[in-house]
Amino acid sequence: MEAPNPTARPQRPTLQESLRSSSFLHDHQQYKPSAPVNSIGNVLGTSLESGVGSLSLNPISPDPDRVTDSGITHSLFNHQVNPLPTDTPQVVATIFYKSSDPIHPHLHPDSSFNTDKLPSPTVPVGSAPTVDIEKIPREPPAPEPEPLDHLYGPFVSQLCLTNFLQILESLPTPYQRMNTSHRCLDQHEQPRVVEVTFSPPPNPDYLTFTDLRKHESIWRFEREWNVEVVLQKESVFRRHKRLVVFDMDSTLIQNEVIDEIAKFIGVEKEVSEITERAMNGELDFSASLKERVGLLKGVPADVFEKLKSVITISPGARELCKALKTLGYKLAVLSGGFQPLAEWLAGELGIDYAYANHLEIDLASQTLTGKLVPSYPIIDASQKRELLQSIAAENNIPVAQTVAVGDGANDLLMLHAAGLGVAWRAKSMVQLEAPTRLNGENMTDILHLLGLSKEDIKELL
């Protein structure tokens, strides 16, 4: 029998057709199991036998269209085939390309026609309590990382994914190679949404899952590639939720209702300033609500009927609710706004529960008194969390099977309490503190967090 050649490079294993994606990453090579590690002695010995000059030769010709391997690997990791146990924890990263929000609206300075008009330094949303540089009592923000999406494509490119996998392997596991797989959730060519599953996650003794979600390397990756990354622990409850609760103002609808009412009596500026500070967590919500409601004294009680014509439902909210109802979900709107509009919106979107604040009405004059009805609790942060838990208990739904979506500081408690809490186009401070955040154009993006593909969503609708 012919003796095996010890220096021969083994055939790379490939996934079966049923286990891998037929996406544009079919040729992705860097993260398939590599060849056995060569010792320094073997490398030097081979090089001396074949000539010193061969050290600088690359046996694989450069190919700009795909990631190539030099053929020589030096690593601390064991590259022998060693499958992980079946019960090894997994983490799912859903990567969204921010197609509507380029990092830089201009080309690179070297090729721009307006090189003398570079934009002023900005603070990325979600990286500081405010995006107003004048309000940050520190030195100016550090320069933004070089934007790469305009160089490699306005989508989750192959190099973008490669960079993400490199970042994952640089995190403290420790000393254990990660297994990774991916799915393109919207389209195989030039995808906007890609789901990456990796295991094992970093050792919690070195890096907790909470810290992993906020890791500086992942934040920088998001800025470089103009993407958002949502991390979730993989489990059957990640894919099979049963209850979703929503905030109303600036979430399911694009308006702040109390600001719209204030327009009727000319106090919009005063009310909107208080609203903004309350949503950023600068003011106690209950106290600020009472202060704003006090400014509405004398407004006709039929103002809510008039407001229905100016309320704008957020893009994708109808489709999101319809898809969730088709799947059998219970839905609720928990709003710091007002009950008449919350009930109207629930009827429009097919939502099962509607909880909001009740304004007191003077029956004689049919106007608002500027007070809240004392027999109803104020829907503040703690009340939203209690309602989430009570609705789940009423329907025998574990909290792990719940989703909360909101944008303000008064939503943070329910976002942290839910199985999945999503800060949707939220205030800067809320994005900093929320478990996850999304700033997309269409609320149906939330369905991708449940593992649903574009084709799945079409079928549901």
Q: Give the DSSP H/E element, type plus range, for residue 317.
A: helix 317-326
CA 313 to CA 336: how far, in whole Å?
17
Q: Within a domain: residue 296?
A: yes
Evaluate whether residue 2 is within a structural domain: no
| Residues 402 and 445 both lie in one domain | yes
Number of domains in the chain: 2
Domain boundary among 192, 207, 234: 234
327 and 212, same structural domain?
no
**Shared-domain flag, residues 260 and 156:** no
Q: Are residues 431 and 284 in the same domain?
A: yes
71 part of a folded domain: no
Smallest Cα–Cα separation from 340: which of 364, 316, 365, 306? 306
Residues 219 and 280 in one domain: no
Give the residue among 423, 134, 438, 446 at the shortest CA–CA distance from 281: 423
Name residues whose C-beta falls within 8 Å of residue 165's C-beta, 6 or more positions apart in sequence.
30, 31, 178, 180, 196, 198
**For a pLDDT cut of 70, what percent of the chain falls above it?**
72
Distance, in Å, from the CA atom of 265 to the CA atom of 293, rounded to the nearest integer, reads: 12
> Has residue 278 been placed in a domain?
yes
For residues 301 and 179, state if they share a domain.
no
Q: Name the token pair of 184.
A: 């393109």
Q: Specify the CATH number for the domain of residue 373.
A: 3.40.50.1000
For β-strands 91-97 and 243-246, DSSP reports them as unpaired
Q: Residue 180 forms beta bridges with which residues?
A: 198
Over residues 355-378, mean pLDDT? 93
Same domain, yes or no: 183 and 254: no
pLDDT for 54 = 43
Angle, vertex CA 60, rays to CA 58 and CA 66, nearest 5: 125
From 213, 234, 255, give the residue that closes a domain. 234
CA 294 to chain centre: 37
In a domain, 120, yes or no: no
Give the domain range for residue 217: 88-100+142-234
Is 109 within the bounds of a domain?
A: no
Q: Is residue 35 part of a domain?
A: no
pLDDT at position 426: 93
Q: Which of 82-86, 141-145, 417-421 bottoms out in mean pLDDT, i.e. has the lowest?
A: 141-145
| Domain match, 373 and 446 both | yes
- Lowest mean pLDDT across 229-243, 363-377, 444-458: 363-377
Q: 270-288, pLDDT tens digit by residue? A: 777 777 777 776 778 888 8
Query: CB of 193 within 8 A of CB of 184?
Result: yes
Q: Assess if residue 415 is contained within a domain.
A: yes
pLDDT above 90: residue 391:
yes
Pair (288, 307) in one structural domain: yes
Phi/psi at 227 (nearest 5 deg)?
A: -130, 170
Residues serving a catalytic function are 247, 249
Does the predicted model carry a pTM greater than 0.85? no
315 and 199, same domain (yes or no): no
Query: Which of 174, 202, 234 lies at the terminal end of a domain, its last residue?
Result: 234
Q: Does one domain contain both 168 and 279?
A: no
Residues 435-453 pLDDT 10s = 999 999 999 999 999 999 9
Are residues 319 and 340 part of one domain?
Answer: yes
Higher per-residue confidence, 447 vs 120: 447
Name, in order, each residue with C-beta under 8 angstroms of 331's C-beta and a sequence gap of 6 or more.
243, 244, 245, 246, 321, 324, 325, 349, 350, 351, 352, 353
- The residue with greater pLDDT, 294 or 125, is 294
Residue 216: give its domain's CATH number: 3.30.70.260
